[in-house]
């Protein structure tokens, strides 16, 4: 079987837009009715079903599960790949949309994000999961641009190759480490690593070895998120019990990983990263479970999931 590239798959999808089938026309009518209804919110599941027919050759359902994630804070949307635990082959995609980043934005941002992630999902499925980050390291290569452009001009969307909610992303990413070495004078990162979770830079980051040899500095934590109301309440309860210090230490210290966990993340570092088109700080792979506000029986498979955003 010939290898299908992102570009081939893009052209195939674009080809269906010249003469819409009756089914595609129905989907288009339904989409236009939704987009014209003037409501501030949109049902992403309903919309996704129509886009699946109109733009993606009906290949996304049922393999792609669309869901809102309350804990996805690093990017507006993400495709998380799951393997079949038995065969170790990729079989499914969870397309997650960030509740915190999208809930207060115009619904066009939700729609454009949904389409952006749907394009990634389409390439994963049509290229036998070969859709990767491409030459520029972002997963938004020629094929992605072709299809995004076609969809944009077909439906007047604004799907970009960026996930451009800088301010929101930054305000949620509030653990900060500063490097002491020469890289602190170098753009674009100036030795800063910002993360939404308390995971200090270390060997499990794909860029760690490179940084060790090229800079050699050490990272010191310079910023933590303000404790939440819940945490303060928990603290004062502990205080009454005379155990505040323990609690505080436990909370400030980076979580120790078990050796098995370390092994797992070492082995899978190369494939487990999520891609952030607009990262302004060197960002290693975040563990899937940390972004995940959902739970399911398949959570073990999910922990080893690959993801792209
Ligand atoms: Zn450095
Ligand atoms: Zn993307």
By the 8 A CB rule, do 254 and 199 touch? yes
User: Considering the domain boundaries, does residue 161 fall inside one?
Assistant: no
* The pLDDT of residue 243: 37
Q: How far is the CA of 275 from the centre of ligand 1 (A)?
A: 22
More confident residue, 125 or 245: 125
CA angle 228, 234, 235 (to 5 degrees): 90
Q: How far is the CA of 32 from the centre of ligand 2 (A)?
A: 25
* The pLDDT of residue 116: 93
CA angle 274, 275, 280 (to 5 degrees): 120
- Structural domain for 30, as ranges: 6-155
Note residues around ion ligand 1 (Cβ under 5 angstroms): 179, 181, 183, 191, 215, 217
User: Considering the domain boundaries, does residue 175 fall inside one?
Assistant: no
Q: How far is the CA of 280 from the centre of ligand 1 (A)?
A: 15
When pLDDT is averaged across residues 44-52 and rounded to a whole number, the result is 98
DSSP string, 65-104: EEEEETT--SSSEEEEEEE-TTT--EEEEEEEEEHHHHTT
Element (H, E) at 59: none
User: Considering the domain boundaries, does residue 49 fall inside one?
Assistant: yes
Q: How far is residue 73's CA from residue 227's CA, in Å, rounded to a whole number?
A: 17
Burial of 213 (0-12, 13-18, 19+ CB in 10 A): exposed
User: Considering the domain boundaries, does residue 40 fall inside one?
Assistant: yes
Q: How far is the CA of 78 from the centre of ligand 2 (A)?
A: 7
Distance from CA of residue 233 to its chain's centroid?
32
- pLDDT, one tens digit per residue, over 22-37 is 999 999 999 999 999 9
Q: Quote the mean pLDDT of the chain.
A: 75
* The pLDDT of residue 136: 57
Give the active site residue among 80, 117, 283, 286.
117
Is the confidence at residue 135, as pLDDT, over 80? no
Q: How far is residue 175's CA from residue 201's CA, in Å, rounded to a whole number?
A: 11
Q: How far is the CA of 179 from the centre of ligand 1 (A)?
A: 5
**Catalytic site residue 117?**
yes
- pLDDT, one tens digit per residue, over 145-189 is 999 999 999 999 989 887 655 444 555 557 888 999 998 887 667
User: Considering the domain boundaries, does residue 117 fall inside one?
Assistant: yes
Q: How confident is the model at residue 235 (pLDDT cuts 50, 70, 90)?
A: low
* The pLDDT of residue 176: 84
Q: Which two tokens stand for residue 128?
A: 């036998």
User: Considering the domain boundaries, does residue 258 fall inside one?
Assistant: no
Q: How far is residue 22's CA from residue 80's CA, in Å, rounded to a whole number?
A: 32
User: Considering the domain boundaries, does residue 244 fall inside one?
Assistant: no
- pLDDT, one tens digit per residue, over 64-104 is 999 999 988 878 898 888 888 898 888 899 999 999 889 88
Tell me the Cα Rg of the chain. 21
Is the confidence at residue 277, as pLDDT, over 70? no
Is the confidence at residue 263, as pLDDT, over 90? no
Ligand nearest to the backbone CA of 193: 1
Is the confidence at residue 286, as pLDDT, over 60? no
- pLDDT, one tens digit per residue, over 203-224 is 888 889 999 999 999 999 887 7
Ligand nearest to the backbone CA of 162: 2
Ligand nearest to the backbone CA of 190: 1
When pLDDT is averaged across residues 136-143 and rounded to a whole number, the result is 76
Q: How confident is the model at residue 55 (pLDDT cuts 50, 70, 90)?
A: very high
Taking the complete model, does pTM exceed 0.85, yes or no? no
Read off the DSSP letter of residue 238: H
Domain count, the chain: 1
Q: How far is residue 62's CA from residue 232's CA, in Å, rounded to a whole number?
A: 43
Minimal CA–CA distance to 133: which of 280, 274, 248? 274
* The pLDDT of residue 19: 95
User: Considering the domain boundaries, does residue 238 fall inside one?
Assistant: no
Report the relative pairing of strands 90-98 and 175-179 from DSSP bridges: unpaired
């Amino acid at each position: 079987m010939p290898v299908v590239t992102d570009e081939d798959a893009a052209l195939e999808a674009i080809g269906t837009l010249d003469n819409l089938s009756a089914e595609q026309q129905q989907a288009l009518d339904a989409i236009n009715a939704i987009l014209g209804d003037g409501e501030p919110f949109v049902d992403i599941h309903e919309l996704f079903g129509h886009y699946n027919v109109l733009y993606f050759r009906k290949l996304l359902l049922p393999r792609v599960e669309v869901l809102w994630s309350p804990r996805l804070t690093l990017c507006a949307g993400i495709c998380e790949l799951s393997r079949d635990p038995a065969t170790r082959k990729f079989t499914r995609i969870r397309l997650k949309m960030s509740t915190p980043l999208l809930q207060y934005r115009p619904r066009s941002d939700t729609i454009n994000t949904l389409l952006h992630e749907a394009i990634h999902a389409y390439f994963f499925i049509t290229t036998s999961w070969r859709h990767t980050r491409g030459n520029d390291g972002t997963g938004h290569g020629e094929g992605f641009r072709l299809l995004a452009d076609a969809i944009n001009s077909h439906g007047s969307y604004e799907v970009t190759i960026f996930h451009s909610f800088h301010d929101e992303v930054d305000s949620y990413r509030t653990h900060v480490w500063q490097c002491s070495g020469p890289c602190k004078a170098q753009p674009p990162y100036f030795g800063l690593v910002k993360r939404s979770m308390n995971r200090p830079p270390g060997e499990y980051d794909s860029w760690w070895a490179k940084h060790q040899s090229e800079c050699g500095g050490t990272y010191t934590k310079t910023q933590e998120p303000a404790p939440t109301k819940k945490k303060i309440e928990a603290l004062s309860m502990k205080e009454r019990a005379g155990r505040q210090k323990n609690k505080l230490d436990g909370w400030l210290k980076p979580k120790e990983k078990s050796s098995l966990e370390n092994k797992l993340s070492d082995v899978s570092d190369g494939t487990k990263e999520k891609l952030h088109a607009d990262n302004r700080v060197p960002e290693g792979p975040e563990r899937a479970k940390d972004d995940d506000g959902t739970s399911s029986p398949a959570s073990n498979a999910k922990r080893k999931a690959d993801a792209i955003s």
